[in-house]
């Protein structure tokens, strides 16, 4: 992946993904997200040596949504260590990200920290040490991206007004003792966290420590211990794309996290972090064009970890 060829590869990827537009649909259960044009496409590749390669709308902020769960989990593991795993599992769920009956059948303990139940449990855990977990996540993401990061209050309000499923999940977990704060407060904090807006370039920069053994080449600081970094990547590889994580690994072969804003971040350990954004989603809530772009990039550069 030399500098020159990354630019060439991105140009080729942008052509290869063209037939995939129009196959998915922007998220509409958060009405504010449905207003983003489906034609948007951006991609950024940040390399460990400071290289940044972008194409399309890579500098346009979009709704980060579930990709924020990576920042929240990293913060929680740095703060609480393995105590996190007394409340949340580490297994792929095989169910949609907002599934309810599996959670009920399994005693209110979420399968992993990336499904909504798991992320709500992480928010609840963070509420033990901070009053405003969304501000904490926003500050952490901004610190790592070395750029100011905003919360889109219109998106947060739009999600909160329709967050019936997440409320059901939070109340179920409160009833079973997985979370200890007011479920309404947990859901409100979680919706604000998900409403962070960042560009592809900012997200790739911010998550570069995952490719660099925990060190951020952007701010020249160690963010996560090396062992924790490997474990975060293991969780991304096995749980980051919910109930289509197997086919994603088959096609792309990289640890990754999706969000219903249409973003996907993928980690190439030892080399780079890639972020792609395109709002039209498949039925699992993952960007159709984004997955096709990562598949093409992985094949063209032979960067799969598998």
Binding region for substrate: 66, 116, 159, 166, 190, 242, 260
By the 8 A CB rule, do 142 and 212 touch? no
Taking the C-alpha atoms of residue 114 and residue 262, their distance in angstroms, rounded to an integer, is 16
Nearer to ligand DON, 118 or 214 (CB): 118
**Contact by Cβ (8 Å): 279, 262:** yes
Q: Could you give the 3-state DSSP secondary structure of residue 179?
A: coil
- Is the separation of the CB atoms in 265 and 203 below 8 Å? yes
Comparing CB distances to ligand DON, the nearer of 80 and 284 is: 284
What single DSSP character describes residue 72?
H
Please identify which residue in 41, 62, 71, 97 interacts with ligand DON, judged by CB under 6 A: 97
Report if residue 232 touches ligand DON, rule: CB under 6 A. no
Shortest CB 96 distance to ligand DON, Å:
9
- Determine if 159 is a binding residue for ligand DON (CB under 6 A): yes
In the bound complex, which residue of the shown chain has the CB atom lying closest to ligand DON? 66
Question: Binding string, 192-231, against ligand DON, x = CB under 6 A?
Answer: --x-------------------------------------
Assigned token pair, 207: 């998550």
DSSP 19: G
DSSP letters along 11-50, please?
HHHHHHTGGGTTSSB---SSGGGGGS-TT--EEEEEETTS
Residues 9-48 that bind ligand DON (CB under 6 A): none
Q: How far is the CB of 249 from ligand DON (least distance, A)?
A: 16
- Comparing CB distances to ligand DON, the nearer of 93 and 258 is 258
Choices 79-87, 130-138, 207-215, 252-260; region in contact with ligand DON by CB under 6 A: 252-260
Q: Report in angstroms how near the CB of residue 214 gets to ligand DON at its nearest.
A: 25
- Distance between CA atoms of residues 48 and 231, nearest Å: 19
Among all chains, which residue has been given the structure tokens 């370039």?
A: 201
CA 305-113-119 angle, to 5 degrees, is: 135
Inter-residue contact 235 to 257 (CB < 8 Å): no
Asked if residues 57 and 40 have their Cβ atoms less than 8 Å apart, the reply is yes
Site size toward ligand DON (CB under 6 A) is 13
| Residue 149, number of CB atoms within 10 A of its CB | 24
**Which of 116, 178, 291, 301 touches ligand DON by CB under 6 A?**
116
Give CA angle at 277 (284, 138), nearest 5°: 95
Work out whether 166 is an interface residue with ligand DON (CB under 6 A): yes
CB of residue 258 to ligand DON, shortest distance in Å: 4
Extract the tokens encoding 48: 């460990």
Structure tokens at 145: 């991206």
Nearest distance from residue 227's CB to ligand DON, in Å? 27
Question: Residues 253-292: x/- map of binding to ligand DON (CB under 6 A)?
Answer: -----xxx------------------------xx------
Q: Which residues bind ligand DON (CB under 6 A)?
A: 65-66, 97-98, 116, 159, 166, 194, 258-260, 285-286
């Amino acid at each position: 992946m030399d500098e020159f060829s990354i630019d060439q590869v991105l140009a080729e990827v942008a052509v290869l993904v063209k037939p995939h537009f129009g196959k998915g649909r922007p998220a509409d259960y958060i009405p504010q997200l449905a207003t983003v044009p489906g034609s948007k496409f951006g991609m950024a590749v940040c390399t460990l040596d400071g290289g940044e390669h972008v194409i399309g709308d890579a500098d346009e902020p979009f709704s980060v949504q579930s990709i924020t769960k990576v920042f929240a989990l990293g913060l929680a593991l740095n703060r609480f260590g393995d105590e996190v795993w007394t409340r949340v599992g580490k297994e792929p769920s095989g169910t949609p990200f907002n599934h309810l009956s599996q959670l009920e059948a399994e005693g209110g303990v979420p399968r992993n920290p990336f499904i909504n139940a798991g992320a709500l449990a992480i928010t609840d855990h963070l509420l033990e040490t901070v009053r405003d977990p969304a501000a904490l996540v926003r500050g952490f993401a901004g610190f790592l991206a070395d750029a100011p990061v905003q919360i889109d209050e219109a998106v947060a309000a739009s999600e909160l007004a329709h967050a019936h499923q997440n409320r059901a999940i939070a109340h179920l977990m409160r009833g079973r003792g997985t979370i200890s704060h007011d479920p309404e407060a947990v859901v409100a904090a979680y919706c604000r966290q998900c409403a962070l807006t960042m560009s592809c370039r900012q997200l790739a920069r911010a998550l570069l420590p995952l490719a660099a053994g925990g060190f951020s080449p952007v701010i020249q600081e160690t963010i996560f211990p090396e062992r924790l970094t490997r474990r975060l990547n293991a969780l991304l590889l096995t749980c980051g794309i919910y109930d289509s994580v197997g086919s994603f690994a088959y096609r792309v072969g990289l640890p990754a996290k999706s969000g219903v804003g249409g973003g996907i971040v993928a980690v190439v350990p030892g080399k780079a972090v890639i972020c792609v954004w395109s709002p039209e989603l498949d039925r699992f809530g993952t960007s159709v064009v984004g997955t096709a772009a990562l598949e093409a990039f992985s094949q063209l550069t032979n960067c799969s970890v598998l």
